[in-house]
Amino acid sequence: MTGDISIPADIARAVITPNVYAEDAPLHDAFRWLRAHNPLGLAELEGIYPFWVVSKHADILEVSRQNDLFHSGDMPTTFTTIQGDEYVRQRTGGSPHLLRTLVQMDAPDHPKYRLLTQSWFLPQNIRSLEDRIRGIARKHVEHMASLGGECDFVNDVALTYPLRVIMEILGVPPEDEPRMLKLTQELFGAGDPDLNRSRSNVQENPDAMGDLQAVIADFFMYFKRLTDDRKANPRDDVASVIANGKIDGQPINDFEAMSYYVIVATAGHDTTSSSTAGAVWGMCQYPQAFAKVKADPALIPGLVDEAIRWTTPVKHFMRSATADTELRGRKIKKGDWLWLAYPSGNRDEEVFEAPDEFRPDRSPNKHLAFGYGAHLCLGQHLAKMEMRILFEELMPRLTSLEFAGEPARATAAFVGGPKRLPIRYRFA
């Protein structure tokens, strides 16, 4: 690959700006331009460390499978400004991370910590949860039926369904679920004035990083109490596994235990909520997709995968090079920072025919929404099963489905999806 490595400033800003993710179309216009003209380009903006934007499916796979060459934990794992990075390092004694979850770890720690809870999320083990999950799904479908043919699918169904499932597995009681939901939205919706803690525009809020730190502190306080309880009274739940977990024969320290809870308690439902809402959004926008799935329930697994690809709730992770290397003919230097652009990889024309269309019968569907390599999402099988079960319960009863107002996406460049989805529908 030859030519200028620099990305035009307007394109680079589009990639990192939360507001653009809420608008969607300008975001995909920017990524489409990158894939066509500079698929591995360098973004150089004032106040930000230079970073490579990895926009092609093949290159995201290439970086993701080489975990020794491209680390998650040496630099911030999610995008931040130089000022934001300095703020975090001042408060952590030099670490670029306010949390140390599986996401921020590299080998040798990453595989050891992943192994702690991995068995809980393996396909053969989550199958035993199917009846419990189906019961939760039926309650949500009944709730939707009781709303009289109109609802906000995000707030009335999609947010609480996966939340109930993961909290049951984790061991958080139902009465604490609203608190977990609020904290999750404040964490992942830090850039959204409807969701963040101060309900402010982040660009105008000098305390945005402080708000984020306060949200994490609230999570830690909650899970410290849960840990103390599970150490004294272990149960058959993930909280007991984390509370009593050992790495190399030593108990996990509090910071890493609390971080572990946070990743399970947030990523365990928020991304699934987004994809579940994305499936309904897609069927409203493309009525032929609704008709196809309605006519052939065997397409429900395809609907699930297409919703995950089309929505792509995790927008990026950052990696940093541990040695000089070459990618797509470009020389990457040791220490260089790379932005893995999952929404772009999931709309790559070389991999997906008509990538902007919502097609439940898309096959194959080699989306990257769960990542790849050692950091492949731990909960992917659970997420897909939850979505499949919900639509197995919902689709036979739905006879019509359409928008009932203007839907909206979260203002979020890291994790986000639909935040409002007014729909009109009829049940059989």
Residue-by-residue DSSP string for 368-390: -TT--GGG--TTHHHHHHHHHHH
| Residue 323 in domain | yes
User: Where does 225-348 show beta strands of DSSP type E?
Assistant: 246-247, 250-251, 316-321, 325-327, 330-332, 337-341
Tens-digit pLDDT profile for residues 169-182: 999 999 999 999 99
Residue 204 banded pLDDT, cuts 50, 70, 90? low
| Residue 3 in domain | no
**Is 208's pLDDT higher than 90?**
no
Q: Say what the pTM is.
A: 0.96
- In this structure, what CATH number is given to the domain that contains residue 75? 1.10.630.10
Residue 136 banded pLDDT, cuts 50, 70, 90? very high
| Residue 26 in domain | yes
Predicted confidence at residue 209, as pLDDT, reads 81
| Residue 4 in domain | no
Domain span holding position 103: 9-427
Predicted confidence at residue 202, as pLDDT, reads 59
Which among 204, 162, 206, 169 is positioned nearest to 184, based on CA atoms? 162
| Residue 390 in domain | yes
Tens-digit pLDDT profile for residues 242-288: 999 999 999 999 999 999 999 999 999 999 999 999 999 999 999 99
**Is 426's pLDDT higher than 70?**
yes
Tens-digit pLDDT profile for residues 298-348: 999 999 999 999 999 999 999 999 999 999 999 999 999 999 999 999 999
Predicted confidence at residue 205, as pLDDT, reads 58
How far, in Å, CA of 3 to CA of 34, rounded? Answer: 13
Tens-digit pLDDT profile for residues 33-88: 999 999 999 999 999 999 999 999 999 999 999 999 999 999 999 999 999 999 99
Predicted confidence at residue 78, as pLDDT, reads 97
How far, in Å, CA of 212 to CA of 399, rounded? Answer: 43
DSSP 366: -
Tallying the residues shown for the chain, one arrives at: 428
| Residue 141 in domain | yes
CA atoms within 13 A on the CB side of 307: 31
Total number of domains in the chain: 1
| Residue 125 in domain | yes
Predicted confidence at residue 394, as pLDDT, reads 98
Tens-digit pLDDT profile for residues 375-425: 999 999 999 999 999 999 999 999 999 999 999 999 999 999 999 999 999
**Is 206's pLDDT higher than 70?**
no
| Pair of tokens at residue 223 | 């899970």
| Residue 1 in domain | no
Task: Give yes or no for a contact between 197 and 188, defined as CB atoms under 8 angstroms apart.
Answer: no
